[in-house]
Amino acid sequence: MQVPAVERSLSGGDLVQRILDEVASCVAAQTTFRRVLVSVYDRGIIPGFEDSVAAITRATSRGLTAVQEERIARFIARGGTVSGARYRSGARLSRSYFFPRGEGLPPTSVRIPSLRRFLGNGGWSDDDVLLTPFWVDGEIIGQISVDDPIDGARPSDEHLHRLEELADLVAVALRDARNLEQLSENHQVFQFLAESAMTGVLVVRGEAARYVNRRACDLLGYDKEQLLAQSPWWQVIHPDDRPQAWVQPDTPPNANGTLRAIRRDGRVIWLTTSVYPMEHPTGGAFVLHFYDITDHVETESQLREKALRDPLTGLLNRSFFEDAIRTEIERSRRYKRPLTVMMADLARFKQVNDRLGHQEGDRILKGIACVMQHQLRDSDWVVRYGGDEFLFVLPETGPEIATLDDRLRRAVAAWSAENVEGVDVSVDFGWSTWTVDHPRDADTLVREADRMLYRTKAEHSSPRQGET
């Protein structure tokens, strides 16, 4: 692969510099290495071949002294070159190259002695060199060089994995461009490099992914070949979220935000996603990067659910009712269907607390709440409105409410007879129905239901005939 030279005056070169700066910052932040040098060449070189030569056109560093940075700048300004001899097979470690004490590194290489002296046996030496290249089609177009690991250890599999993941992402940024000058702000590749250690990446052209990184495979549960074979690529997206991912060929999807994906094992996960368009010689392409926020989404959902539930009975609470009742009224208005709001109050419940104690009162309240909830349809819902009061929201329920009233009374009476000793706990109801001919707002419905409940309680508390 031939990559044309990049002059410092070109805007494309300026973006390359920004990408290199971002990569250097990522390495310093995400690995144990405290000295980083990142460079890019004017063309690809073939590893192991001494006559395969390229010039360094751009470089950036972290952790070097001003004198050391100036030395590198002078080397680049003089047209300093690297050859394939630097990347000999004997020094290869995974997809990186390690030179213990600098042994085997060509003498023409810029060598900056380490600022530390690690004295432990088997630890990092002041002359050790670790290089991680940017691989493109079997050639190398740049590299990350690191030094001074904070733990003083020789390269581990974890070190190599993180460095090579970053190098892969830089290769994605450069591979599909005609030349480096054509890189534009639209790529914004440097934005996702900052999160590379936790981010999955797909490069998509047409209806297929052309590149996937290892993190994408881990998150989605597929191996690389399986993801590349997916056509269309958005089969991994949850069916309900596919409309925002499906697009006409060569058009980036409107998928910035969150969506659900389906792993190969069938588990649904939540992803936060960003999309960046890319130029490509054969047409439009885009980069989709994402990371798993399933734990975060589930935790938030649990917290929201907890905030909307009464901790004693597990029923929905008053806060939920005040938000949801307006939605139910609007649905009834749209479909011209009745909606009933019913209030319930436990009779003689104060006697339960006075005679049996509050702990027993809590048990009975939970039991009756469960009994009433089991008498409802899936479309109905009940909230604990306060104390021993309950509020039912019953969509598409009108005149038949009297039947439900009777069924609830019988169920509560039966449970009370079997589970409560010494107190005859029963329940009173009042309701109000919204209809197209008699529409009301939420406050009016609750107020009317409360008035009817008050009248019902008064009737039930009046002495019966023959009683004194």
- The reported pLDDT for the residue numbered 461 is 67
Q: Partners of 161 in the beta sheet?
A: none
Q: Partners of 81 in the beta sheet?
A: 55
Look at residue 401 and tell me if it is in a domain: yes
- Do 289 and 426 share a domain, yes or no? no
Look at residue 2 and tell me if it is in a domain: no
- Do 313 and 447 share a domain, yes or no? yes
Look at residue 320 and tell me if it is in a domain: yes
- Do 272 and 210 share a domain, yes or no? yes
CA distance 358 to 360: 5
Q: Which CATH number goes with the domain that contains 203?
A: 3.30.450.20
Q: Partners of 104 in the beta sheet?
A: none
Q: Which CATH number goes with the domain that contains 62?
A: 3.30.450.40
Q: Partners of 200 in the beta sheet?
A: 290
- Do 243 and 164 share a domain, yes or no? no
Look at residue 412 and tell me if it is in a domain: yes
State residue 367 phi and psi, 5-degree precision. Answer: -65, -45
State residue 183 phi and psi, 5-degree precision. Answer: -65, 135
Total Cβ atoms within 10 A of residue 26: 25
Chain centroid to Cα 59, Å, comes to: 33
Contact 293, 272 (CB under 8 A): yes
- The reported pLDDT for the residue numbered 268 is 94
Question: Into how many domains does the chain fold?
Answer: 3
Q: Partners of 284 in the beta sheet?
A: none
Give me Rg for the CA atoms of the chain: 35
- Do 43 and 158 share a domain, yes or no? yes
Q: Which of 90, 136, 84, 126 is nearest to 109 (CA)?
A: 84
Bond prior to 232 in cis (omega within 30° of 0) = yes
Chain centroid to Cα 128, Å, comes to: 39
Which of 296, 329, 349 terminates a domain? The answer is 296
- The reported pLDDT for the residue numbered 144 is 92
Look at residue 276 and tell me if it is in a domain: yes
Burial class (CB in 10 A: 0-12, 13-18, 19+), 28: middle
- Do 34 and 160 share a domain, yes or no? yes
Q: Partners of 201 in the beta sheet?
A: 289
Structure tokens at 402: 């009297």
Residue type, 362: D
Look at residue 188 and tell me if it is in a domain: no
Q: Which of 435, 439, 413 is nearest to 426 (CA)?
A: 413
- Do 249 and 327 share a domain, yes or no? no
- Do 165 and 211 share a domain, yes or no? no
- Do 315 and 454 share a domain, yes or no? yes
CA distance 381 to 379: 7
Residue type, 136: V
CA distance 307 to 135: 51
- The reported pLDDT for the residue numbered 253 is 66
- Please report the DSSP string for 220-287 in residue order: HT--HHHHHH-SSGGGGB-GGGHHHH--STT---S--EEEEEE-TTS-EEEEEEEEEEE--TTS-EEE
Burial class (CB in 10 A: 0-12, 13-18, 19+), 81: middle
Please list, residue by residue across 434-443, b when 16 or more beta carbons sit within 10 angstroms of its beta carbon and e when fewer do. Answer: beeeeebebe
Look at residue 187 and tell me if it is in a domain: no
CA distance 127 to 103: 9
Q: In whole angstroms, how far apart are CA 464 and each of 23, 93, 135, 345, 461?
A: 86, 94, 93, 21, 9
- The reported pLDDT for the residue numbered 24 is 86
Q: From first to last of its 468 residues, what are the pLDDT tens digits of the chain?
A: 333 333 332 234 466 777 788 888 888 877 888 889 999 888 889 988 888 899 998 889 998 888 888 888 888 888 888 888 888 888 888 888 988 877 777 666 666 666 655 555 667 777 788 899 988 777 898 999 988 888 788 888 888 888 888 887 777 665 544 344 444 444 445 444 534 546 788 888 878 888 788 888 999 999 988 998 888 888 899 988 887 766 555 556 666 678 899 999 999 999 988 787 765 545 567 878 788 888 877 777 676 667 778 888 888 888 888 878 888 899 899 989 999 999 998 888 888 888 888 888 889 899 999 999 898 888 888 888 888 889 999 998 887 888 888 899 999 989 988 888 878 888 899 999 999 889 989 899 999 999 998 888 887 665 444 443
- The reported pLDDT for the residue numbered 114 is 63
Domain limits for position 321: 309-461
The bridge status of strand 381-386 relative to strand 316-317 is parallel
Q: In whole angstroms, how far apart are CA 14 and each of 6, 26, 66, 71, 171?
A: 9, 19, 21, 21, 17
Structure tokens at 80: 């300093």
Which of 228, 263, 296 terminates a domain? The answer is 296
- Do 76 and 119 share a domain, yes or no? yes
Contact 47, 132 (CB under 8 A): no
| Three-class DSSP category at 72 | helix
Q: Which of 273, 275, 286 is nearest to 206 (CA)?
A: 286
Which of 182, 212, 245 terminates a domain? The answer is 182
Indicate the angle between helix axes 349-356 and 358-374, nearest 10 degrees.
140
